[in-house]
Amino acid sequence: MFGKKEVLELEQNKYRIEAEDYLNKPEKTEGLLNKAIKKANQRKGNLGEAWEKLQLLVEMIKAYSKGDYKNISNATILTCIGAVLYFISPIDLVPDFIVGLGIMDDAAVIGYTINKLGTEIEEFKKWKKSSQVANENPFD
């Protein structure tokens, strides 16, 4: 039987394949990030700790897509894009229309992604602190 980690990995991997369609396509990626920002702002109160983690994923994808930050592997950026695709999808493990529960699986996938990519996330945070470009908050 599958544990929580395995279920999250399976769900995230479904979207990694779709994520390849966004790699190196800044206009398409920007549209995806705008959808994620809109949904995140609408559900900010329900996301809890995942709110800040989602912001970090969006900032990293945006910096990569614009060419400002390239110190990241393709596998990692695809994982990040996959997590954002999962987040914006209305039909996933727990559909968003189930009030109170629909956002919980999204938050779990976001948290799982951040934890899974620990070292590269930390490197991005260091770069972000030292970069004026990265200090723009797309959620404002």
Question: Does the pLDDT value for residue 96 go beyond 60?
Answer: no
| 62 or 4: which leads in pLDDT | 62
Angle CA 60–28–108, to nearest 5: 50
How much is the pLDDT for 4? 62
Q: List the end-to-end C-alpha distance of the chain, in Å, as a whole number.
A: 42
pLDDT (tens digit per residue) in 104-129: 777 888 888 888 888 899 999 999 88
Structural tokens at position 63: 């910096």
Residue with tokens 């956002």: 103
Question: Does the pLDDT value for residue 43 go beyond 90?
Answer: no
CA distance 83 to 113: 7
Side-chain half-sphere exposure of 75, counting CA atoms within 13 A: 3
Question: Does the pLDDT value for residue 5 go beyond 90?
Answer: no
Q: Percent of the chain at pLDDT above 70?
A: 76
Angle CA 32–34–39, to nearest 5: 100
Going from N- to C-terminal start, the domains of the chain cover 4-135
pLDDT band of 30, cuts 50, 70, 90: very high
Side-chain half-sphere exposure of 36, counting CA atoms within 13 A: 31
